Amino acid sequence: MTKLVRVAVSELQAGCSRLDREASHYLVDVHRIVANVEFLVFDVEAATEAIATLLIADSRQASYRVECVQASTRIPDFRLIVIQAFGKGAKIDQVVRAATALNASEIWVVSTSRSAIPSGKETLGRCERWRRIAVDAARQSERGNVPSIGGVLGLREVLSSLTSFAGHCWVLSPRAVNNLGEKLASVSVGDTAILVGPEGGFDDAEMTLASEAGFTAVRLGSRVLRTEIATVAALGAIAAFWDMRAAKSD
């Protein structure tokens, strides 16, 4: 079966619709799709998709028809929770973008003893921006949905909400004895939560809190990484291991 070109849209529905200029250019100029050819449209905010037929191949405003909308087929198979300590500047923006592309189902931004916490008004604005970043990242990576994003919340509050979580729980620490790669190689594929501290790491009380919540400390290697890089590295390792396991089981 020929793989259909995927195009992100907003408010996907049955019937005739138009693509915006960027999507029209991508479909008509880049992929050379012509009238009466099928492609796939997907709406990450509604987690839906549909086979569409191109009606007018206009690179500025193409039009298409959809007969039936269905649930997206590109939704992560497992629950992957990212608990990230708040950081200044664009650190969380980078985490949200990468975590979305690497299959995170939930992203929680938490305050810690070494985090610079924004005001309530600023937090609201940041959450809205993080949502927009997640939508853009899901569209770019052709993921079928977007992760839920919560924050900025207290670390204890978020960890307490995971008391019934039965998956793998790891907290990143450059001083940990256990290596994340070794842990991934020794466990089965399944729901996972990772906890990442701020610049300077979690303090002793926070590490104790994580341990009491069932999190095992793991390191990513011999380097001390910036917090946003550590998150991306851990998620990349998890994605690689899980994909490898899935391929072997097919």
Domains located in the chain, CATH noted: 6-71 (2.40.240.20), 80-249 (3.40.1280.10)
Q: How confident is the model at residue 120 (pLDDT cuts 50, 70, 90)?
A: low
Contact between residue 135 and residue 44 where contact means Cβ atoms under 8 Å apart? yes
Please state, as a whole number, how many other Cβ atoms lie within 10 Å of the Cβ of residue 77: 12
15 burial type by CB count under 10 A (0-12 exposed, 13-18 middle, 19+ buried): exposed
Amino acid at 77: D
Angle between helices 120-141 and 91-101 (to 10 degrees): 30
Q: Would you say residue 1 has pLDDT above 60? A: no
Q: Higher model confidence: residue 250 or residue 156?
A: 156
Q: Which residues pair with 196 in a beta bridge?
A: 84
Amino acid at 167: G
Mean pLDDT of the chain: 91
pLDDT tens by residue, 123-179? 777 888 999 999 999 999 999 999 999 978 899 999 999 989 999 999 999 889 999
Nearest to 172 by CA among 246, 90, 102, 238: 238
Q: Would you say residue 7 has pLDDT above 90? A: yes
Out of 10-19, 35-44, 124-133, least confident range: 124-133
Inter-CA distances, 157 with 35, 86, 89, 154, 215, Å: 54, 15, 24, 5, 15
Strand segments, DSSP code E, in 173-249 are 178-179, 192-196, 216-219
> How much is the pLDDT for 203?
94
> How much is the pLDDT for 243?
82
Average pLDDT of 51-80? 96
Nearest to 130 by CA among 149, 110, 115: 149
Polymer length of the chain: 250
DSSP 183: H
CA distance 53 to 38: 4
Q: Which residues pair with 194 in a beta bridge?
A: 82, 170
pLDDT tens by residue, 175-201? 899 999 999 988 888 999 999 999 888
CA distance 241 to 119: 39
Average pLDDT of 110-127? 77
